[in-house]
């Protein structure tokens, strides 16, 4: 992978990890610092950045993760990624480490859920996907004066992605229909053959942007949906599998054989690679996904399928 083990472990310095759950408290600006100094530009993908987790000023029910020193980036240069949580829940606390890992690679990540909102234990049977929460996040990042001030005018309105896991992955796939979205990553997810979460598989027809689907192998209940959705999509699509990740390994760090930190590092490294490739047109990260000898293809336990690339 692009990030070797030593670099990835150093990137977790300053994160408090316990069983895959990282908590940094609920203050208005929280540091989840990496060990390296910010790079000079958003296109510098080999450096990790210290990050902060903050309230979204002027937007209720969301949290923003971003490099702490945004002054190190040129204006309008930092891509915006909107995130939807597993279970379509409105708390992102359980994925603080994962989202900080993505933001640390030069991204503004706006997650569903207020800064101090706690997770709900059970997913109701009548849960409906809410892609509007992701488009609200995009509206805030690119159109509001509050976001411009909070983010120092660094958000790049031409480089917008959406991502999510499980039911949140369905929300991301739905939000990908927004014309401002240029790329989508759906983790441990996919539309069911019957109507669930309020939508059917024909919603895939509304996706016109490059799409990454990920599953965690045989233990992931979303594997079948991810494979069948991959087959139905007509856009440039990548299907990545990791045989031991299960349904939560990539984002929560829980997996069958790898350590929690290693699996989560692989997860946020892969997601950043995908958006580097599709938003920045990065040739090195394209090679992570494309070709018979692609970077991920050579990693033990990983498999990659592509179409229309």
Domains annotated on the chain, with CATH: 5-307 (3.40.50.1820)
Q: List average pLDDT for each run of 10 residues in the chain, which is 309 residues long.
A: 34 32 33 34 61 98 98 97 96 96 97 93 76 98 98 98 97 98 98 93 98 96 98 98 92 67 90 97 95 93 95
- Which helix or strand (DSSP H or E) is residue 284 part of? helix 283-286
**In angstroms, rounded to a whole number, what is the distance separating the alpha carbons of residues 279 and 287?**
15
- The pLDDT assigned to 101 comes to 96
The number of angstroms, rounded, from the C-alpha of 106 to the middle of its chain's C-alpha atoms is 13
pLDDT tens sequence across 95-105: 999 999 999 99
Residue 288 C-alpha from the chain's centroid: 17
- Confidence at residue 262, expressed as pLDDT on a 0 to 100 scale: 85
Residue 41 is classified by DSSP as S
Question: What pLDDT is stored for residue 253 in this prediction?
Answer: 73
Residue pair 269/299 in contact by the 8 Å Cβ criterion:
no
CA distance 275 to 80: 10
pLDDT in the model for residue 252:
85
* CA proximity to 272, closest of 161, 179, 110, 175: 161
């Amino acid at each position: 992978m692009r990030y070797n083990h030593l670099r990835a472990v150093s990137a977790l310095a300053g994160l408090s990890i316990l069983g895959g759950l990282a908590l940094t408290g609920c203050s208005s600006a929280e540091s989840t610092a990496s060990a390296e100094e910010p790079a000079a530009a958003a296109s510098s993908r080999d450096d990790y950045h210290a990050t902060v987790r903050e309230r979204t000023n002027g937007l209720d029910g969301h949290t923003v993760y971003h490099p702490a020193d945004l002054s190190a980036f040129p204006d309008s240069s930092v891509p915006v990624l909107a995130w939807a949580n597993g279970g379509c829940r409105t708390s992102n606390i359980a994925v603080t480490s994962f989202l900080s890992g993505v933001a640390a690679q030069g991204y503004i990540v706006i997650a569903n859920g207020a800064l101090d909102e706690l997770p709900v234990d059970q997913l109701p049977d009548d849960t409906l996907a809410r892609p509007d929460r992701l488009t609200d996040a995009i509206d805030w990042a690119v159109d509001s004066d509050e976001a411009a001030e909070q983010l120092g005018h660094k958000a790049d309105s031409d480089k917008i992605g959406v991502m999510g896991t499980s039911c949140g992955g369905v929300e991301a796939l739905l939000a990908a229909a927004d014309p401002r979205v240029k790329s989508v990553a759906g983790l441990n997810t996919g539309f069911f053959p019957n109507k669930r979460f309020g939508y059917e598989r024909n919603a895939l027809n509304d996706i016109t942007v490059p799409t990454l689907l990920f599953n965690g192998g045989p233990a992931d209940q979303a594997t079948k949906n991810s494979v069948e959705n991959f087959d139905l999509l007509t856009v440039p699509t990548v299907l990545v599998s990791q045989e031991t990740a299960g349904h939560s390994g990539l984002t929560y760090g829980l997996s069958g054989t790898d350590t929690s930190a290693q699996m989560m590092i692989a997860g946020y490294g892969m997601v950043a690679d995908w958006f580097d490739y599709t938003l920045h047109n990065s040739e090195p990260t394209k090679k992570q996904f494309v070709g018979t000898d692609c970077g991920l293809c050579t990693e033990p336990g990983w498999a990659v399928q592509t179409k229309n690339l």
